[in-house]
């Protein structure tokens, strides 16, 4: 079985179950062991987590995902995760570094579910058409009406200030 994570994948966590007993190297997130289990070494292991559900100190995997990864409880697939026991591998979308990656899980490693909200927006595949971005802007734009009004008001205030100062000087 193969699983391809698309290049535009965002905000999802793929959960894989590992048949017990898992090797100590896998439980310690050794890069070679994780690459062997998932069938690729193209993942950024900063965004891959290996968890033994037996060591969660009373938390269920659902609670761990909710508290550790801020996965809303209503997004988690309760039926698929409720009775999951033993080691699991959590692969975040960011583990692919924005490239499409195909996983070839080892025998016994099973994709349980994918949780999270997929990206709703897609980047355009070609440049956006339009003449607005074409050409070179030369020269200086003329001042706006608001800028001209502000300049006139400033000059008027300066003239009034000089007149008031002159009147005070003559009066004294």
Task: Name the percent of the chain lying above pLDDT 70.
Answer: 87
* pLDDT-based confidence at residue 76 (cuts at 50, 70, 90): low
Report d(CA 76, CA 64) in Å as an integer: 11
Name the residue with tokens 């409720």.
82
Residue 6 has a CB neighbour count (10 Å cut-off) of: 13
CB of 77 closer than 8 Å to CB of 113: yes
What are the boundaries of each domain within the chain?
A: 3-116
Separation in Å, CA 84 to CA 11, 17, 38, 123: 22, 8, 18, 36
Judged by average pLDDT, the poorest of 48-52, 62-66, 91-95, 119-123 is 119-123
Query: What values do phi and psi take at 63, rounded to 5?
Result: -65, -40
Summarised one tens digit per residue, pLDDT across range 104-142 is 988 888 888 888 776 666 666 677 677 766 767 778 888
Give the mean pLDDT of 60-72.
Answer: 82
């Amino acid at each position: 079985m193969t699983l391809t994570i698309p290049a535009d994948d965002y905000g999802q966590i793929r959960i894989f179950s590992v048949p017990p007993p898992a090797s100590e190297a896998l439980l310690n997130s050794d890069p070679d062991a994780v690459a062997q289990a998932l069938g690729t070494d193209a993942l950024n292991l900063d965004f891959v987590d290996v968890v033994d559900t037996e060591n969660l100190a009373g938390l269920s995997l659902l609670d761990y995902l909710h508290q550790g990864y801020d996965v809303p409880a209503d997004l988690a697939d309760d039926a698929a995760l409720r009775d999951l026991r033993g080691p699991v591998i959590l692969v975040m979308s960011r583990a692919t570094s924005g490239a499409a990656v195909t996983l070839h899980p080892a025998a016994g490693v099973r994709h349980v579910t994918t949780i999270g909200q997929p990206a709703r927006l897609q980047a355009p595949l070609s440049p956006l058409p339009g003449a607005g971005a074409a050409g070179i802007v030369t020269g200086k734009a003329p001042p706006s009406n608001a800028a001209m009004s502000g300049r006139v008001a400033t000059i008027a205030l300066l003239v009034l200030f000089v007149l008031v100062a002159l009147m005070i000087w003559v009066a004294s």
